[in-house]
Amino acid sequence: MRIMAIDYGDARIGLAVSDETATLCGEAWTLCERNMNRAADTIVKEASSRNVGQIVLGYPKNMDGTLGARAEKSEEFKIALEARCDIPVTLWDERRTTIAAHEILHANGKRMKKHRESVDAVAASLILEGYLGASK
């Protein structure tokens, strides 16, 4: 069963999908979409075309574990996804994934201006890796 991880943002959404054995990240990309409903429609189509059986949605908690406005947006997006498909959607603590994604890109020689193009996909990959690691 493939698992899809989502790093949900207002303008860009990072997506990562595991391999068939749910062991490794098989592919990652960024969706540019500001409209929540269009984004949910597109993601459900992508998940269906890849035979995804589980969706893991990043849940951006504050560093002290409390929930803020970004977490509320993730909760709304979870509802939008669930209304469109029968794939289970799990909220997953994504604290520090974007910071770690920037660090990875910087360590690999990407200039800061170029981070915007791929940081969300890298963050989704980190969410997926965290979920896969905890599931084993």
**Sheet containing 2-7, strands listed edge to edge, beginning at the edge strand earlier in sequence:** 25-32, 12-18, 2-7, 52-59, 89-93
Query: In this structure, what CATH number is given to the domain that contains residue 124?
Result: 3.30.420.140
Number of domains in the chain: 1
What is the pLDDT at residue 7?
95
pLDDT at res. 32:
95
In contact, 101 and 25? CB cutoff 8 Å: no
Strands 12-18 and 2-7, sheet pairing: antiparallel
Domain that holds residue 114: 2-135
Give tens-digit pLDDT for 109-121: 666 555 566 778 8
For residue range 50-101, list pLDDT tens digits in order: 999 999 999 988 778 788 888 999 999 999 999 999 999 999 988 666 666 6
Nearest to 104 by CA among 91, 88, 118: 118
